[in-house]
Structure 1
Amino acid sequence: MATGNRSNRSNGPRRNPNGEGSIYQRASDGRWVGQAYVLTTDGTRKRKAVYGATWQETHDKLTALKAQSRQGIPIPDRAWKLADYLPYWLAGYVADLKPTTARGYESAVRLHLIPALGTKRVDGLQVQHVRTFLDEFRRKCLCCTAGTDKNRPADRQCCSAGRCCAHYPSARQIQFVHAVLRNALQHAMREELVSRNVAKLVRVPSPRYKVGKGLSVEQARTLLAAAEGHRLYALYVVAATMGLRRGELLGLRWSDLDLDNGAVSIAQTVQRAGGKLHLQDTKTEDSESVLPLPDWTWMVLLDHQQDQQRERDRLAEVWEDHDLVFPSERGTPMEPRNLNRHFAALRDKAGLPDVRLHDFRHTVVSLLMELGVPPHVVQAIARHADVKITLKIYAHANLDVMRQALGKLDGRLS
């Protein structure tokens, strides 16, 4: 009596009832093949095949395939590889995003996802593939990957000259690349190309963001005094009293200001992406707000408007009017890096080499909280999406307030 394993049968195809598909063993390589008619993503029923090293493995795969079809879940009609699907996804979906976001997605796909996972089929990608990719990505030098320094002078080259600088990705960069893959696979699920998003099953550590401590009142006054008389003085006053972000400062238009009633609408921002400057809407709906102008800021902006008119008249032949409150010296949107350079010189002049322009924003939050303004009001002024962000900045910035509070406790107990 034969006792051979069913998985090793080689005596011809195994018959199945009509409509249930068939399983047979190929003579060429001995692999088992299972075939059945199933629902596909183009809306028709087509004959699809599964493969296995044994009859049982092939039978299990075929059973799962038919069960998926019976549940009304279409089987992908096209065997997309990630190298083909990701550019297709970018062209159809990411192109509608803001330029800076789209640029980041494109870089993640081109530099990291396609080189590592491009040969994998979308419907064959597994959790282990994603986990292995992220583990290898953590140990990959970004300078080597992007060829960052290949155009530098020879004496300044590192990775291109064979001296790897070991510039490994940060937790934030790992999280971002993972998010790009997760979003692409989620889109593939909506198109019914895959039945699950394997990237969602892989967790990555959340980055720990550092929160700036802000400036003391004395430091803010010192910086503003150093800027007085410069064409950007009003910009620093607005930053110090309104807490606007860098891009919002550079995107502010005169049409956004109601100087009759002392109010400002925050509606657009200037960002650099893909080698170009872009004027675009603010980050979120929470960023779009109408805020009252403090009296001092109001007066400084009125003076700035007159100064800019004189500047425009003097440079009439080259001035390009974009309605910007803080443009370049020709009226065009100011390059964000040029503002950074000016602020770097300003802080050195003021003797404060370690402060950042963004610290003005944290200072506004901290000072308002110290003055007893309710957190939800401060949140509205800072245009934070969550009041927890407002409280986090305040708690991090006010060591002096905490020292005073603990000093009271010390006085009671000592």
Structure 2
Amino acid sequence: MPRQPKKRQAASGRNPNGEGSIYQRSSDGRWVGQAYVLTTEGTRKRKFVYGATWDEAHTKLVELKSRSQRGIPTPDRAWKIADYLPYWLSAYVTDLKPTTARGYESAVRLHLVPALGTKRLDTLQVQHVKTFMNDFRVKCLCCAAGLDRTRRPARQCCSAGRCCKRYPSSRQIQFVHAVLRNALQHAMREELVARNVAKLVRVPAPRYRVGKGLTVEQVRKLLAATEGHRLHPLYVVAATLGLRRGELLGLRWSDLDLDAGTAAIGQTVQRTATGLHLQDTKTEESESILPLPEWTWLVLLDHQERQRRERARLAEVWQEHGLVFPSEVGTPMEPRNLNRHFAALRERAGCPDVRLHDLRHTVVSLLMELGVPPHVVQAIARHADVKLTLKVYSHANLDAMRQALGKLDGRLS
């Protein structure tokens, strides 16, 4: 066995305080380094490092002591990913909006813990995260979520040996990576890890589809198909103000000033695992006061009177929540029920490929085509950044492009 370097010793023959020591275990021959260092509990405790050789153990011991001397504490507990992520969810994520917290919990339960749960938090490496992300790109989400267990036999795919290969989208890949990155960032703040290895792994940025919007004729067909229905005013508001689905269902009569002709957008309806929730809007920019177009104002006046008669007719069955567009008994409307109604509506109107959110795209696009300044359109759409208004939601239609290129053709020819 090669001779090991001699260590400096005190006059008593023992190592100076804080110097630590290295010895070889007789059970397996591994080298063990030990020293008293600062821990995350604020006290000094004896911590161990291990190596296959004396040099490896010595290098790790020097790093351990160096971090302690710089005031960087050593984690007092050897967290595993499977233990830390649920702790992080309960300690930090519960303060987020219910839908956001549900998405974080799903990412941890379905993807992160099954793949990385056995890894130690303080020894997680960049390569571990890279391998996980590469595997996740070709992971069937149907299998991961166990959807086959809830499907009828005729619809089974993965459990029947015929995998549907429903792989994650680039947006889903980015989201799961962001959840891991956020968790490790909190671990850094708690001084449980020295660096955030997830930040060192790049994932492809999703390419957002440019909102196509509807033509004026399509909007007219949709609204004509709802004439006389109790949800007709909802679609008018969607087509003229561009509110999101949750904002439409969360709109209260107290948010409307029909004398002044304004609407204050302040809350939204969201579905979570525990039921329907009324909560604040998506961002601070989403909270805004919008003027009501005259047509919208007249429709809402008529709708208010109709709802008053509906409430009187149902008497004790009606549960008042002050909502402009509630369910048939006054409670917050289930967002999925609105989706079902719109799915039937678009078929009747001969527009099978449009979405409810496309009405929001339409408002923004039509305003841009009418020459409204982008910063005004941004205020109406309540976007945080005018770049989003210009890039994602607005689009130039074929006629506008033909007109623009016609001007160029006239100049050059």
CA contact (8 A) 1:241 1:297 kept: yes
Change (3 A) 1:177 1:394: closer
- Whether 1:59 and 2:55 are equivalent positions in the alignment is no
Q: Which moved more, 1:51-60 or 1:212-221?
A: 212-221
**Residue of structure 2 in register with 1:109 after alignment:** 108
Return the alpha-carbon distance in structure 2 between the equivalents of residues 75 and 18 of structure 1: 18
Structure 2: which 5+ residue stretches go unaligned?
7-12
After TM superposition, the score normalised by the length of structure 2 is: 0.95
Q: Deviations over 1:259-297 (max 9, x none)?
A: 111111111111111152111110110000011111111
Q: Indicate the residue corresponding to 1:358 in structure 2.
A: 357
Does the alignment pair 1:80 with 2:51? no
Equivalent residue letter for 2:30: R
User: What's the CA shift string for 1:14-56, capped at 9, x where partnerless?
Assistant: 9754421101111111100111111000000111110000111
Percent identity reads 80
Alignment-derived partner of residue 10 in structure 2:
none
Q: Any residues of structure 2 matched to 1:9-408 within 5 Å, and which? A: 16-274=15-273, 276-393=275-392, 395-408=394-407
Between the aligned partners of 2:33 and 2:290, the Cα distance in structure 1 is 67
> Cα distance, 1:217 vs. partner?
1.4
Contact map agreement 2:364 2:394 (CA 8 A) in 1: no
Q: Contact 1:247/1:269 (CA < 8 Å) preserved in 2? A: yes
Relative to the length of structure 1, the TM-score reads: 0.95
Asked whether the equivalents of residues 213 and 397 of structure 1 are also in contact (C-alpha less than 8 Å), the reply is no
For 1:408 and 1:394, how far apart are their aligned partners in 2?
Answer: 25
Q: How many residues align?
A: 407
One-letter amino acid matched to 1:291: L
One-letter code of the match for 2:305? Q
Distance 1:392 1:79 in 2: 46
Contact persistence 1:131–1:202 (CA under 8 A):
yes
Q: Distance in 2 between matches of 1:74 and 1:81?
A: 18
**Helix, strand or coil for the counterpart of 2:323?**
coil
Deviations 1:287-328 (A, max 9, x none): 000111111111110000001111111111311111110011
Provide the residue aligned with 1:11 in structure 2.
none
Alpha-carbon distance in 1 for matches of 2:300, 2:52: 76
Q: Contact 1:189 / 1:197 at 8 angstroms: preserved in 2?
A: yes
CA RMSD of aligned residues (A): 1.7
Aligned-pair CA distance for 1:156: 1.5
Letter aligned with residue 286 of structure 2: S
Distance apart, 1:399 and its partner CA: 3.2
Task: List per-residue Cα deviations over 1:109-166 (Å, max 9, x = no partner).
Answer: 1111111111111111111111111111111111111111212221111112222111
Give the match's secondary structure for 1:316.
helix
Distance 2:15 2:143 in 1: 55
Counterpart residue identity of residue 296, structure 1 = W
Contact 2:208–2:392 (CA under 8 A) maintained in structure 1: no
Letter in 2 for 1:59: H
- SS of 2:149's equivalent in the other structure is coil
